[in-house]
Amino acid sequence: MFEKYMIVEDDVQNIVENGQNTGFQFGARLPYYRGLGLSMVEEIIVTIDGEKIQQENVSLTVQDKNYTMAQMEIEPEARWEMGEIAHVQVRKKGGLTTGEHKLHLLLNLRVSYMPFPSIRQSEKVIKL
C-alpha cells in the first residue's frame, strides 16, 4: 500500500569523500502506517542496475544519526516514523554515474503483531 512512497526519487546524490565518489545515498520512507523501532528493521536490501549491494555496505541515517544494520539490530530507542524521510547510504566505489539508474529497495520489517515478516519492495528509475 505504501510501497510507492518508499523511494524518494528526487533525493539521490553521490557521497564524496576526499574528492572521490565513495558511494551514493537516497531518501527512503517506511512503508508502514506506524513508525517502527530501528531494531525491527530486519533487512535493507538495495539493488542498483541489477547489482545487489552487500548488506555490510548499506547503512541508514534517521534523525541525523547513521546506523549500520548491526547497530540497528541492538538499538533500543531510535525510531523511523511514518512519513519521515531517512537516507539509505550505499558504499560503492565510484558512486553513480550521471544519468538514469534502476533502483530496487526491499525492506524486511518485523511487526510485533504479525506472525510473519512484512516484506515490502519498490523499484523506481532515479536520475543523478
Q: What 8-state DSSP symbol labels residue 71? A: H
Residue 57 CA to residue 15 CA, distance in Å, equals 13
pLDDT above 90 coverage of the chain, percent: 83
- Taking alpha carbons only, the member of 35, 23, 20, 34 closest to residue 88 is 23
**Structural domain total, the chain:** 1
pLDDT in tens, 41-88: 999 999 999 999 999 999 999 999 999 999 999 999 999 999 999 999
CATH number at residue 7: 2.60.40
DSSP string spanning 47-61? EETTEEPPGGGEEEE
Range of the domain at 120: 3-127
Give the C-alpha separation, 32 to 81, whole Å: 9
Percent of residues in the chain assigned helix, strand, coil, to nearest 5:
10, 55, 35
Q: What integer pLDDT is reported at residue 2 of this predicted model?
A: 78
Query: If you average pLDDT over each of 16-20, 112-116, 117-121, which comes out highest?
Result: 16-20
Banded model confidence at residue 1, pLDDT cuts 50, 70, 90 = low
Is pTM beyond 0.85? Reply is yes
